[in-house]
Structure 1
Amino acid sequence: MDKKLTYRLATSDDLVDIVRMLADDELGSKRERFEEPLPQSYIKAFVDIARDPHQELTVVEEEGEIIGVFQLTFIQYLTYQGGIRAQIEGVRVEASHRGKGYGKKIFEYAIDRARHRGAHLLQLTTDKQRPEAIEFYEALGFVASHEGMKMHF
């Protein structure tokens, strides 16, 4: 991987590639529905994300080809003296590019982007069934400082 990566906000033209990448991993294949044309739920979600100034859905390109994606959400809250917390979700690297250092480059960019937007921390969640992902995040400097909980509806 010695080619330059470029980062830009996603457009509706990128949506098929994004959903394909989201569905192309062990967990994503169980919860996403990649088909063409895309289900309307993805189109509606994209429109909502694109309109929200607190959301950034970013695609990563190498020589004009989309090879990655991630979403940053900037959460304003009162604690930490009215601080901003950034949440990173939906990070994916194209299957043919995995294991080559792209994930690290993408996270380095996302960390810088969160700092640039004034966030005092960047958080993520990861499935406990993915120990290799947890090791990857820890190597980047993430710390499992809290116990996360979810309620699915």
Structure 2
Amino acid sequence: MVTNPLDYVDQLGKAGASGFTFHVEVSKDNWQELVNRIKSKGMKPGVALKPGTPVEEVYPLLEGENPVEMVLVMTVEPGFGGQKFMPDMMDKVRTLREKYPTLDIEVDGGLGPSTIDIAAAAGANCIVAGSSVFGAPEPAQVISLLRTSVNKACRA
């Protein structure tokens, strides 16, 4: 999370990033300019939502003239890895999935073998997993399990 994401768009675009996700909490005054700049650099714009922020905060970014293409629901407070998954954040995921059936919905924080089914069933189709993968004796097995769970839920 950065306080002025507009300062990073050009650099990440030049570096070859395919997407750029910014926090709604720091972009209320310039989100449309930010989305336009992200798209002009060939990247897919996404917006992140901290646990304490109501899901309705992202609606204008999804329904505007030039909408974001992904919402990241933080399932922990941003800042450091290894935090415990907040299952109550799945209400936000379910709300977004019902309102925007084709939207990419990403979840980040505390995702692993014991929480992936909850997130996938709620409607998350993109997963960020750090500690559960990099701390595993067999990271490839964890990745496979996460992928299988999300794919299974998406087909249901």
Higher RCO, 1 vs 2 (CA within 8 Å, ≥6 residues apart): 1
Return the TM-score normalized by structure 1: 0.32
Identify the structure with the greater helix proportion.
Answer: 2
Identify the structure with the greater strand proportion.
Answer: 1
Return the TM-score normalized by structure 2: 0.32
